[in-house]
């Protein structure tokens, strides 16, 4: 019997194969082509199979990555392993940038720590080993060792699975791993969601921020920001303009593209970091959301690991909707990888989208798609799934400026070659709002890129429904 960690990674790979490739997961595992073995056993294998070592530790310091050309894109690998000492093993495609080690029997061993990297990323290894937190208690992207090497935007899990798919197909057809897997990868998936933090622009906190912007330049002996007075007056007269109205506008736009999304509702205690728009406007928006779209809860800032407040927010939201609330995302992305998942599961959440970064875009868990959360203490998977958020609207534009859509397109293209889902959070207040000119047209252009790439739309809930 294999260790529970191995069974867990095997299951996540099988789920990923079933969702994003044209293969059946049994094609990879039931045939015995892929085997998880200790390194010493993998080094002695003498048959046409893929031996994945599961006992190689992750080094304490990040190792230099390298790239391998694969299926018209690049795979980015790190934590390279040494080939077995037996001289019969050689590197494929070459020794400077290997993807596989192979011997005369046609056996394959991945040239990088495939199992160790994936388990480490899916179980939040980086942040569990770090004490760094930002002002909101979050593990920021800048704290990740991968940030130094530009690895945050690498879907390591997807790339590993694509390599395994190519190896299995190649071993059957020619006895050599394939580097072109056209026809074996399904179209990329786009997972759209909207955090409804502000639905009325006349709340006291939003207006106060604008008021501060008027006078703040005076501190540096500059002219006051008079234009902010216009936004104060505009939303005082028309509170829903560019907020509630944007939410319905996004629905109309998504309809035009044949897409659908998840709306996360923020209710409960109000305040600077809390629910600004109040509960009354939520039922009105719910009437505008088609039944094919999903409704979730945006966990309020003050509900973080607080049973009483979380239960109160859930009960309040459940009273105004007929939808079964089982999906959610944390406001300000506040969550603890060691405590939050069991907490959320206890309160009826089975799908979460909180694992993402606010300071950079990127794959926090190295995966473009959903995975079942694993408890490293109990050594078993929990009954809750995570769809990590890859892109937040303002973060993308702040990071890439005029190249934002180009970068978005590059990420989507890469997934079209290795398989996977790009998860995007776009706030209604950023959709079409002249107060935020840099965001005008961004969402529309993103959806155009999705259509041109042939991307399909799946909500977090439909991801899990297609697997479970």
Tell me if 182 is assigned to some domain. Answer: no
pLDDT tens, the chain, 468 aa long: 789 999 999 999 999 999 999 876 566 777 788 999 999 999 999 999 999 999 999 998 877 899 999 999 999 999 999 999 887 899 999 999 999 999 999 999 999 999 999 999 999 999 999 999 999 999 999 999 999 999 999 999 999 999 999 999 999 888 899 999 999 999 999 999 999 999 999 999 898 888 988 888 887 777 778 888 988 999 999 999 999 999 999 999 999 999 999 999 999 999 889 999 889 999 999 999 999 999 999 999 999 999 999 999 999 999 999 889 999 999 999 999 999 999 999 999 999 999 999 999 999 999 999 999 999 999 999 999 999 999 999 999 999 999 999 999 999 999 999 999 999 999 999 999 999 999 999 999 999 999 999 999 999 999 988 886
H or E, element range at 425:
strand 421-425
Residues 298 and 447 placed together within one structural domain of the fold: yes
Residues 67 and 123 placed together within one structural domain of the fold: yes
- The pLDDT tens digits of the residues spanning 73-100 come to 999 999 999 999 887 899 999 999 999 9
CB-CB contact of 260 with 290 (8 Å)? yes
CB-CB contact of 295 with 258 (8 Å)? no
Residues 211 and 260 placed together within one structural domain of the fold: no
Partnered with residue 75 across adjacent β-strands are: 68
Residues 157 and 222 placed together within one structural domain of the fold: no
Tell me if 181 is assigned to some domain. Answer: no
Tell me if 61 is assigned to some domain. Answer: yes
Residues 212 and 257 placed together within one structural domain of the fold: no
Q: Select from 199, 337, 378, 188 the least CA-distant residue to 277.
A: 199
pLDDT of residue 217: 81
Q: Select from 58, 127, 116 the least CA-distant residue to 337.
A: 127
- The pLDDT tens digits of the residues spanning 370-399 come to 999 999 999 999 999 999 999 999 999 999
What domain range includes position 50? 4-173
- The pLDDT tens digits of the residues spanning 319-340 come to 999 889 999 999 999 999 999 9
Residues 22 and 167 placed together within one structural domain of the fold: yes
Partnered with residue 52 across adjacent β-strands are: 36
Residues 196 and 226 placed together within one structural domain of the fold: no
pLDDT of residue 221: 75
CA angle 92/12/125 to nearest 5° reads 85
Tell me if 44 is assigned to some domain. Answer: yes
Tell me if 178 is assigned to some domain. Answer: no
Cα–Cα distance measured from residue 77 to residue 109, given in angstroms and rounded to the nearest whole number: 14
Residues 77 and 217 placed together within one structural domain of the fold: no
SS3 290: coil
Residues 193 and 207 placed together within one structural domain of the fold: no
Residues 411 and 426 placed together within one structural domain of the fold: yes
Tell me if 180 is assigned to some domain. Answer: no
Tell me if 183 is assigned to some domain. Answer: no
Residues 322 and 345 placed together within one structural domain of the fold: yes
Residues 243 and 392 placed together within one structural domain of the fold: yes
pLDDT of residue 453: 96
Tell me if 207 is assigned to some domain. Answer: yes
Q: Find the CATH number of the domain harbouring 438.
A: 3.20.20.370
pLDDT of residue 269: 92
- The domain total for the chain is 3
């Amino acid at each position: 019997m294999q260790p529970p960690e191995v069974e867990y990674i095997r299951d996540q790979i099988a789920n990923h194969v079933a969702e994003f490739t044209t293969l059946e997961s049994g094609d990879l595992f039931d045939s015995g082509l892929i085997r998880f073995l200790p390194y010493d056993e993998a080094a002695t294998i003498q048959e046409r199979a893929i031996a994945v070592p599961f006992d190689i530790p992750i080094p304490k310091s990040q190792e230099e990555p390298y790239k391998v050309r694969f299926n018209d894109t690049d795979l980015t690998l790190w934590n390279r392993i040494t080939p077995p000492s037996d001289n019969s093993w050689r590197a494929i495609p070459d020794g400077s940038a290997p993807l596989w080690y192979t011997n005369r029997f046609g056996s394959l061993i991945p040239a990088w720590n495939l199992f160790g990297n994936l388990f480490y990323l899916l179980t939040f290894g980086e942040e569990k080993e770090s004490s760094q937190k930002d002002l909101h208690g979050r593990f920021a992207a800048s704290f990740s060792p991968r940030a130094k090497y530009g690895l945050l935007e690498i879907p390591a899990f997807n790339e590993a699975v694509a390599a395994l798919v190519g190896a299995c197909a190649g071993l059957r057809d020619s006895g050599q791993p394939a580097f072109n897997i056209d026809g074996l990868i399904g179209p990329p998936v786009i997972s759209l969601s909207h955090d409804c933090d502000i639905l009325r622009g006349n709340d006291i906190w939003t207006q106060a921020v604008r008021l501060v912007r008027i006078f703040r330049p005076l501190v540096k002996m500059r002219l006051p920001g008079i234009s902010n007075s216009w936004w104060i007056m505009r939303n005082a007269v028309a509170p829903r303009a560019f907020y509630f109205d944007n939410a319905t506008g996004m629905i109309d736009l998504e309809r035009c593209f044949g897409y659908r999304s998840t709306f996360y509702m923020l209710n409960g205690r109000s305040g600077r970091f809390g629910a600004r728009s109040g509960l009354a406007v939520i039922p009105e928006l719910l009437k505008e959301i088609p039944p094919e779209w999903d409704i979730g809860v945006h966990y309020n800032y003050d509900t973080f690991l607080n049973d009483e407040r979380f239960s109160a927010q859930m009960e309040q939201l459940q009273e105004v909707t007929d939808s079964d609330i089982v999906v959610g995302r944390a406001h300000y992305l506040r969550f603890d990888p060691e405590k939050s998942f069991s907490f959320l599961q206890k309160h009826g959440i089975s799908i979460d989208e909180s694992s993402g970064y606010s300071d950079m875009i990127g794959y926090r868990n190295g995966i473009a798609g959903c995975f079942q959360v694993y408890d490293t203490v109990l050594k078993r998977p929990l009954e809750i799934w995570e769809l990590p958020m890859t892109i937040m609207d303002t973060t993308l534009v702040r990071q890439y400026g005029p190249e934002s859509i180009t970068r978005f397109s590059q990420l989507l293209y890469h997934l079209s070659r290795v398989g996977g889902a790009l998860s995007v959070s776009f706030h209604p207040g950023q959709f079409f709002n002249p107060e935020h000119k840099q965001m005008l047209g961004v969402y529309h252009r993103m959806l155009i890129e999705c259509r041109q790439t042939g991307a399909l739309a799946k909500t977090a809930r439909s991801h899990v429904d297609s697997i479970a």
